[in-house]
Amino acid sequence: MMFVWSEVRGIMGYSLNLVGYNVFYYFAQNVDNLLIGRFLGTGALGVYDLAFKLMAFPMQAISAVFGKVMLPYYAQAQDDLPRFRHVFLQIARAIAFITFPLMIGLFATREHFVLTVFGADWAGMIPLLAMFAPLAAIRSVLTTTGSIYVATGRADLQLRWGVVSNLMVFAGLAIGLQWGVIGVATGFTVTSLLLLYHNFTIPFRLVGLNMTILLRTLKPTLLCTGLMLALLVVFDLTVADLIGHSAALASMVCLGATSYAALTWIFNRHMLQQFLETAKLKKPATISS
């Protein structure tokens, strides 16, 4: 067995970049909490942290699971770019199918949800969820781009762009701090949206994808989610005030789930059928270009 330093050096470089990104990302995810706790106090931190955890839920519970399950498929397909793109878009569509109605539903019901589940003392979360819930839907799909860097061996690019983009987010947080917890949330949301295009397109270039293809793939889910939101808004404006927060929340959850299912059957039936066939995720042979 021969020791080849050039190969070891390549592996070490990849590993160090990946570890460096994960360490920096962990720090970046906690900067807002550090700033709020230091300058605004524990009360503001509690409200912000709970709202942020609700935003992070789809990334941690759904996107991360899909990412781990599909990473072997990505690795197998990395030398077959058409197949790689197909697998990635399938996963992005499956994640959006779950997270978009979930988080947009939270956006629509945010006042009733907070006052019913947490009580009036947590009313400060309501404007935070107005920003964080839609952003969470987008970030649930964005999270999957990390697998592109890993599968294509470009952890160095992931680290460089991660440092640059998060430094811009830090600036937004620092600027927003002077307007309190709402300012911090606004700074985070605005900088995240400003960076959104590049956060997608930089990894997409590694596999020959573009935003047009992604949006076309997500179009049926976006349509169903948008129509569901319109129904919920109309209900909230016309009926919710007459029945109280708890009844409004229960009614809107039922309306949202029923309408999304019906709309999906009309406009996105193929995705619904694929989603119900969950066993497909366990059979590599069913995924083809």
What pLDDT sits at residue 251?
96
What pLDDT sits at residue 84?
84
What pLDDT sits at residue 49?
93
What pLDDT sits at residue 149?
87
What pLDDT sits at residue 56?
85
Query: Could you give the angle at the alpha carbon of 54 between the alpha carbons of 49 and 60, nearest 5°?
Result: 105
The DSSP code sequence of 52-68 is HHHHHHHIIIIIHHHHH
Rounded Cα–Cα distance for residues 246 and 254 (Å): 13
What pLDDT sits at residue 286?
46
Comparing C-alpha atoms, which of 194, 210, 200 is closest to residue 141? 200
What pLDDT sits at residue 282?
44
**Cα Rg of the chain (Å, integer):** 21
What pLDDT sits at residue 90?
87
What pLDDT sits at residue 179?
95
Residue whose entry in the numeric block shows the structure tokens 């907070």? 114
What pLDDT sits at residue 78?
65
What pLDDT sits at residue 6?
53
Residues 37-62: tens digit of each pLDDT: 999 999 999 999 999 998 887 777 77
What pLDDT sits at residue 284?
44
pLDDT tens, per residue, the chain with 289 residues: 454 545 545 566 667 777 777 777 778 778 999 999 999 999 999 999 999 998 887 777 776 677 666 666 666 666 778 888 888 898 899 899 999 999 999 999 999 999 999 999 999 999 999 999 999 999 999 988 888 888 888 888 988 999 999 999 999 999 999 999 999 999 999 999 999 999 999 999 999 999 999 999 999 999 999 999 999 999 999 998 899 999 999 999 999 999 999 999 999 988 888 777 754 544 444 444 4
What pLDDT sits at residue 147?
82
Rounded Cα–Cα distance for residues 25 and 230 (Å): 36
Comparing C-alpha atoms, which of 83, 79, 81, 192 is closest to residue 140? 192
> pTM (2 decimals)?
0.87
